Amino acid sequence: MKKKVVSLLAAMALAVTALAGCGSNNAATTGTDAATVAATTEAAATTEAAGEAVSGVKAGFIFLHDENSTYDLNFLNGAKAACEKLGIEYMTKTNIPEGQEAYEAACELADAGCNFIFADSFGHEDYIIEAAKEYPDVQFSHATGTKAHTEGLDNFHNAFASIYDGRYLAGIVAGMKLNEMIANGDITEDQAKMGYVGAYTYAEVMSGYTSFFLGARSVCPSVTMDVTFTGSWYDETAEKEAANKLIEGGCVLISQHADSMGAPTACETAGVPNVSYNGSTEAACPNTFLVSSRVNWEPYFEYAIKCVADGTPINTDWCGTLETGSVELSDLGAAVAEGTAEAVEAAKADLIAGKTHVYDITTFTVDGKTLDSYEADIDTDPDYTPDHEVVSDGYFHESDVAFRSAPYFNVRIDGINLLDEQY
Amino acid sequence: MKEKNKEPLFHIVKRDALPWYKSLGIRFLAILLALILCGIITTITTGINPLQVYQSIVLGAFGSVRKTWVTFQNIAILLLIALALTPAFKMKFWNIGGEGQVLIGGLVAAASMICLGDKLPNAVVILCMIVASLAAGAIWGFIPAFFKAKWNTNETLSTLMMNYIATQLVAFYTIVWEVPKGSGKIGIINQNTNVGWLPQIFGSKYLLSIVVAVVITIFMYVYLNYSKQGYEISVVGESENTAKYVGIKVEKVIIRTMLLSGALCGLVGLLLVGGINHTVTTTIAGGQGFTAVLVSWMSKFNPLTMVFSSFLIIFMNRGASEISTNFGLNHSYSDILTGIILFFIIGCEFFITYRLQFRKKAEKEEQ
């Protein structure tokens, strides 16, 4: 009997120590464990931790999916890199749906002591706003959102990047590949048709495929493009089917704006060149991968975290560029045409210098006419009321922080054919 | 060779009704075993200390005041759907359309919020939402019931198909009401005016669903056990012929019960849209229409037992997702753990209903 009591006491003591021990360093474990996972999934750019360390900030990150989604992995890596560089503690919450759960997750992070909270998915925005109202002392940032400039909250911010620059450069890679195929006699000039798998007929997607197309057309004038939509940001089967449909429809090169590996793997199977998004897919698709553009979120995270540390306000809208290192192209794949690297470098220099603009109105037409003027729906409302003139100085001002960081280019230009648009 | 009638090592014998403490003990043991297995698997595959894992499970559900509230709110929602389905199941009407009935209730609630939000005063909008949600859920229950009662169609199929119709309707209206254009999501409805948001009671945004769940649990317990209609449901469930013989109008009972079942599911849709999410998406019910089937059956249609079953499922669910967050594991990992736990919980029902009788030693020696 005595023995039993002793062992029981010992077990209880053990449990209590474990509880107490974990209670205090729970959050720290969270950060490091998540970091380990991110590190194993992709070797992100490791920077020296010394020198730039800040204090007094604990960051919380909310992700729609986990590292299996290229979209979220891109954010995860950026978050990890920025936090390690600045030497701050951070927590992550993955697989947070675009509903009340996003609000709960943000509040839980705030309760856990985070004073900078970031959410990565478009549909999180409204719920993050709710949390921001409840925690006025915590800074909230949201990627791709549209409401920060109209919501009037000091602690809610939007961020995005001029990813259309990256798409444009990726389009040049695609155009060079098409030129090579024409020169080799694989296709004729008229057969230079690209395919694009989009998620929704949403401005972010339309801006993306249009800039990609304009990039391709800047080097391959005869190119046309078919676009199809899956009605989901992440649906591997639908994306694969969509890519197959485009290939059957005569598309000789595919790109996509949807987050799974569906389209790249379909292209690898069919042997069709693919321009990827959010990160290189070369490992899975060595024969067909051309290039990938992505937003590097590390500069924004560093900027925002430093703002919180210094107590300076974070910009309501923040748009990263090629210059800030926010817009990046991956290494070129083995399948690219000769001279691609040089062409991309030249175009990139011109974009940075402001010599060329992606949406230069002399490079495209809408219903056969030049787009001299366009009113975009900048201030989100249920009736989609156009409210700001965004064409000036000869180009369409996309993601201009004078308006908002999230894309609003939703013009349907000539040369691009939408196969379906029910989404 | 001697012909020998070989007795198997054990055979399965149906038990008489077990005393409540024994069946409770078996269930408790099952959960304990499930947790131990989860711990072992976690340690083997990830090298994490199992004690930390158990601690995370508890902290995931009750780690902070907010987490505790959310846990109880989630229990309330799952419990409500299970309660809604129960009268149908007790009648042996396989209503696996809970998901669709919840969704359609949510959809009309959202429709009322969007279309009437700036036309009518808040109280009237909420009244419209309540009526519309209950009615829509009831209609979604009525259609399969009517066909079953009139032409004896298979309700398993028809309720299941009604789920898809509801999901597609929600998907369609998501595109109609999307903000901003092309984004494929509605977002929080009336975020600035809060029109059509169900009121917070006692200043808590979590309490409403919980209170509704308590009320409906008591109602359902009384309805099933002490009302004439509840008795009719039991009789129809046991034997339709008996029911006909004693003069129960079976068609009427089927339709009436499904109206109730559907309306209660519609009520859950109302709570999800008007009280919790303030938006509607195709995944707003999150498969709980199906999980609730499990809850209802596991509890043998007893509303009070359902409270514990729902608690268990939500507790484990939240615990498992906390594990995946805390230890940087993939979300699928929490699905694996939930799967193990459910396997044990469902498996233990076997041992409550049956017992294994092992070959006796004495008999063996005689041979």
pLDDT at B117: 87
More confident residue, B354 or A203: A203
Assigned domain for A255 exists:
yes
Tens digit of each residue's pLDDT (9 = 90 or more) over A237-287: 999 999 999 999 999 999 999 778 899 999 999 999 999 998 888 999 999
Q: List the single residue in A with minimal CA-CA distance to B331.
A: A95
High-pLDDT (> 90) share of chain A, %? 74
Distance in Å, alpha carbon of B188 to nearest chain A alpha carbon: 6
Which pLDDT does position A135 carry in this prediction? 96
Angle (nearest 5°) at CA B13 between B7 and B18:
150
Quote the minimal CA–CA distance from A300 to chain B in Å.
Answer: 23
Specify whether A206 is located in the same domain as A265. yes
Flag the least confident range among A134-143, A411-420, B45-54, B285-294: B45-54
pLDDT at A2 over 50: no
Give the C-alpha separation, B287 to A212, whole Å: 39
Name the residue facing A94 among B51, B278, B325 (closest C-beta).
B325
How many CB pairs below 8 A link A and B? 110
> Which of B:41-60 have CB within 8 Å of A?
49, 51-52, 55, 59
Of B66, B277, B279, the CB nearest to A111: B66
In a domain, A20, yes or no: no
* Residue in chain B lying closest to A25 (CA): B326
Same structural domain for residues A250 and A358? yes
Closest CA relative to residue B82, chosen from B268, B243, B236, B222 = B268
- At A412 the pLDDT is 94
**Is residue A384, in this structure, part of any structural domain at all?**
yes
Tell me the chain B residues in contact with residue A142 when contact means C-beta distances shorter than 8 Å. Answer: none
Which of B52, B177, B181 is closest, CB to CB, to A377? B181
- Highest-pLDDT range among A34-38, A340-344, B285-289, B316-320: A340-344
The two three-digit tokens of residue A401, written as one number: 């922080």
Q: Does B191 touch chain A (CB under 8 A)?
A: yes
Question: Of B260 and A381, which is predicted with more confidence?
Answer: B260
- Residue numbers in B near A34 (CB within 8 A): 328
Section B126-145 average pLDDT: 96
pLDDT of residue A179: 96
Judgement on whether residues A128 and A261 belong to the same structural domain of the protein: no
Q: What is the pLDDT of residue A69?
A: 81
What element of type H or E holds A90? strand A89-93
Backbone angles phi, psi at B273, to 5 degrees: -85, -50
Residues of chain B neighbouring A14 (CB-CB closer than 8 A)? 51
For residues A313 and A339, membership in a common domain is answered with no
Q: Which candidate from A33, A410, A422 shows the least CB-CB separation from B328? A: A33
Residues A89-127 pLDDT 10s: 999 988 898 889 999 999 999 999 999 999 999 999 999
In a domain, A30, yes or no: no
**Interface confidence (ipTM) of the complex:** 0.82
Query: CB neighbours (10 Å) of residue B69?
Result: 16
Residue A28 has a pLDDT of 37
Q: Express each pLDDT in B54-74 by its tens digit.
A: 888 888 899 889 999 999 999
- For residues A122 and A226, membership in a common domain is answered with no
Q: How far apart are CA B152 and CA B261, in angstroms?
A: 19
The yes-or-no verdict on residue A44 having pLDDT over 70 is no
Average pLDDT, integer, range B41-63: 85
Q: Is the pLDDT of residue B364 over 60?
A: no
CB contact under 8 A, A98 and B281: yes
Most B CBs within 10 A among A68, A77, A95, hence the mutation to make, goes to A95
Confirm or reject contact between B19 and chain A (CB < 8 A): no
Q: Is A235 a member of any domain? A: yes
pLDDT band for position B353 (cuts 50, 70, 90):
confident
CB atoms B185 and A202 under 8 Å: no
pLDDT in the model for residue A23: 37
Same-domain status, A154 and A176:
no
Does B326 sit within 8 Å of A33, measured CB to CB?
yes
The yes-or-no verdict on residue A1 having pLDDT over 80 is no
Between chains, do A92 and B325 touch, taking CB under 8 Å as contact? yes
Same domain flag for A93 and A230: no
Q: In B, which residues are within 8 Å of A112 by CB distance?
A: 64
Please tell me the distance in Å from A174's CA to the nearest CA on chain B.
26
Which chain B residues are Cβ-neighbours of A381 within 8 angstroms? Answer: 179
- Whether B183 and chain A come into contact, CB under 8 Å, resolves to yes
> Over 70: is that where the pLDDT of A9 sits?
no
Q: What pLDDT sits at residue B4?
A: 59
pLDDT band at residue A50 using 50, 70 and 90 as cut-offs: very low
**A26 neighbourhood in chain B, CB within 8 Å:** 59, 326
- Token pair belonging to A6: 């002793």
Per-residue model confidence (pLDDT) at position A302: 95
Regarding whether A168 and A288 lie in a shared domain, the answer is yes
Interior CA angle at A53 toward A48 and A57, to 5°?
Answer: 135
As a whole number, mean pLDDT of residues B155-177 equals: 94
pLDDT of res. A141: 96
Of the candidates B165, B117, B114, the one whose C-alpha atom is nearest the C-alpha of residue B139 is B165
Q: Which residues of A touch B321 (CB under 8 A)?
A: 95
A194 and A259 belong to one structural domain: yes
What residues of chain A lie within 8 A of the CB of B55, using their CB?
A: 18-19, 22
Q: Which whole number is the average pLDDT over A144-165?
A: 94
User: Could you tell me if A382 and A399 lie in one domain?
Assistant: yes
Residue B64 to residue A125, Cβ atoms within 8 A: no
Please indicate, yes or no, whether residues A272 and A139 belong to a single structural domain of this protein: no
Q: What is the pLDDT of residues A390-409, one digit of tens each?
A: 999 999 999 998 899 999 99
B232, HSE (Cβ side, Cα atoms, 13 Å) = 16
| Share above pLDDT 70 across residues of chain B, in percent, rounded to a whole number | 96
One-letter amino acid for residue B148 of the chain: K
Q: Percent of chain A scored above 70 by pLDDT?
A: 88
Q: How many domains does chain A have?
A: 2
pLDDT digits (tens, 9 = 90+) for A371-380: 999 999 899 8
Q: Is A42 inside a domain boundary?
A: no
Query: No. of H helices and E strands in chain B?
Result: 14, 2
Query: What residues form DSSP beta bridges with A89?
Result: A58
Residue B316 confidence (pLDDT):
82
Between B102 and B52, residue with greater pLDDT: B102
Residue A30's pLDDT is 40
- Across chain A, what does the average pLDDT equal? 87
According to DSSP, the β-strands at A375-376 and A391-392 are unpaired
What pLDDT is recorded for position B317?
83
* Mean pLDDT to the nearest integer, B177-204: 88
Round to whole Å and give the CA distance between B69 and B51.
Answer: 24
- Greatest Cα pair distance, chain B, in angstroms, is 92
- Say if the Cβ atoms of A126 and B66 lie within 8 Å: no
CATH number for the domain that contains residue A99: 3.40.50.2300
**Best A90, A104, A134, A230 residue to mutate vs chain B (most B CBs within 10 Å):** A104
For residue A375, give the 3-state DSSP assignment.
strand
Residue A148 has pLDDT above 90, yes or no: yes
Residue A246 lies in domain: 163-292+328-418
Residue A29: inside a domain: no
Q: Quick one: pLDDT band at residue B2, thresholds 50, 70, 90?
A: low
Q: Which of A28-32, A172-176, B163-167 has the lowest mean pLDDT?
A: A28-32
Which whole number is the average pLDDT over B277-281?
A: 93
Same domain, A285 and A348: yes
Interface test with A, best of B62, B183, B194, B331 (most A CBs within 10 A): B183
In A328-359, which positions are buried (b, 16+ CB within 10 angstroms) versus exposed (e)? bbbebbebbbeebeebbeebbeebeeeebbbb
Q: Do A104 and B70 touch (CB under 8 A)?
A: yes
Is residue A41, in this structure, part of any structural domain at all?
no
Look at A200 and B183 and tell me if their CB atoms are within 8 Å: yes
